């Protein structure tokens, strides 16, 4: 959470996105950390770009129209100094006539070929998600957690919770945390075999991730963290075998 002075500082430098923090203890307005159209680039990164461009014999442009200055001046400067420019972009750019090579293709396809020829492996990308189940004597709750920092982070659009022992219908939630009030103390529901909890999760789907159902057996109150990894190429979820701890 940010204090009052920090909030003033962030508002001055960044844009408010219209959402609030997922952490119930904060709920402060969120700000972005990207460069939007019409905004200046960070001066340190821009200076480093020009500095490295001045030393480069070859400049590779990936997916840029080369129409926005001052960043577009970096590859133009490479040509001026006698270096070679390679442009990978689906459309033509103002520097296509003077570049050494133009490639009208997707950057992922081009860089995969480059890495293969350099005999360098591209690490496979997997989306990591974490769900926390918190149980107390009279309630059970679920919510998304940032797997790197351990703070609340919402990535779900629907949560359905079923307690087979209570023989009730699925309890459905559109917001987190999704909290179920228990009709009896947890200790009386656990018994000798534990309390089964089935949770159906529907994701925001930015990576096309499918719905998934998690099954738990509660034997003691407390927190259970479940890590899930999604492979966008295989369109499959993988679950960790043991509880995850930060």
Instruction: Tell me what pLDDT residue 245 has.
Output: 55
Q: If we measure between CA atoms, which residue out of 117, 122, 102 comes closest to residue 61?
A: 102
Instruction: Tell me what pLDDT residue 137 has.
Output: 92
Q: Which two tokens stand for residue 133?
A: 């189940």
Q: Which two tokens stand for residue 246?
A: 């930060």
Cβ-based burial of 160 (10 A; exposed 0-12, middle 13-18, buried ≥19): middle
Report the C-alpha gap between 122 and 229 in whole angstroms.
18
Instruction: Give the CB-side neighbour count of residue 38, counting CA atoms within 13 A.
Output: 2
CB 209 within 8 A of CB 228: no
**Low-confidence stretches of the chain (pLDDT beneath 70):** 1-14, 241-246
Work out the number of other CB atoms within 10 angstroms of the CB of residue 245.
7
Q: What torsion, rounded to 10 degrees, do the Cα atoms 144, 147, 151, 154 define?
A: -30
Instruction: Tell me what pLDDT residue 37 has.
Output: 77
CA distances from 10 to 2, 4, 57, 169 (A): 9, 10, 39, 45
CA diameter of the chain? 79
pTM of the model: 0.69
Instruction: Tell me what pLDDT residue 6 has.
Output: 41
Q: If we measure between CA atoms, which residue out of 161, 137, 163 comes closest to residue 221?
A: 137
Q: Which domains are seen in the chain, by residue range? A: 43-117 (3.40.50.1220), 127-239 (2.60.40.1970)
Summarize pLDDT for 20-34 with one digit per residue, the tens: 888 878 888 888 778
Instruction: Tell me what pLDDT residue 241 has.
Output: 55
Report the C-alpha gap between 70 and 48 in whole angstroms.
13
**Per-residue 3-state assignment (H helix, E strand, C coil) for 85-113:** EEEECCCCCCCCCCCCEEECCCHHHHHHH
Report the C-alpha gap between 128 and 152 in whole angstroms.
14
CA distances from 199 to 13, 152, 165, 203, 211 (A): 41, 18, 14, 13, 11
Instruction: Tell me what pLDDT residue 74 has.
Output: 95
Q: Where are the alpha helices (DSSP H) in 69-222?
A: 73-80, 107-117, 186-190
Instruction: Tell me what pLDDT residue 24 has.
Output: 78
Summarize pLDDT for 93-107 with one digit per residue, the tens: 999 999 999 999 999
């Amino acid at each position: 959470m940010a204090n009052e002075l920090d909030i003033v500082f962030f508002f001055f430098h960044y844009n408010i996105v219209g959402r609030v923090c997922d952490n119930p203890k904060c709920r402060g307005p969120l700000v972005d950390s990207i460069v939007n159209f019409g905004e200046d680039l960070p001066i340190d990164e821009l200076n480093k770009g020009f500095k490295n461009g001045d030393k480069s014999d070859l400049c590779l442009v990936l997916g840029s129209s080369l129409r926005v200055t001052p960043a577009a001046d970096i590859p133009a400067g490479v040509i001026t100094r006698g270096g070679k420019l390679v442009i990978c972009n689906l459309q033509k750019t103002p520097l296509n006539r003077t570049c050494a090579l133009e490639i009208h293709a997707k950057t992922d396809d081009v860089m995969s070929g480059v890495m293969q020829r350099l005999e360098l492996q591209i690490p496979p990308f997997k989306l990591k998600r974490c769900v926390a189940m918190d149980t107390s004597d009279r309630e059970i709750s679920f919510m998304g957690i940032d797997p790197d920092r351990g703070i609340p982070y919402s990535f779900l659009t629907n949560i359905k919770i079923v307690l087979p022992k209570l023989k009730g219908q699925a309890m459905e939630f559109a917001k987190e945390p999704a909290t179920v009030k228990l009709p009896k103390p947890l200790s009386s529901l656990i018994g000798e075999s534990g309390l089964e909890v089935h949770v159906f999760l529907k994701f925001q789907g930015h990576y096309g991730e499918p719905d998934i159902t998690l099954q738990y057996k509660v034997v003691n109150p407390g927190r259970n963290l479940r890590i899930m990894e999604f492979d966008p190429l295989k369109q499959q979820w993988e679950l960790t075998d043991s509880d995850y701890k930060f």
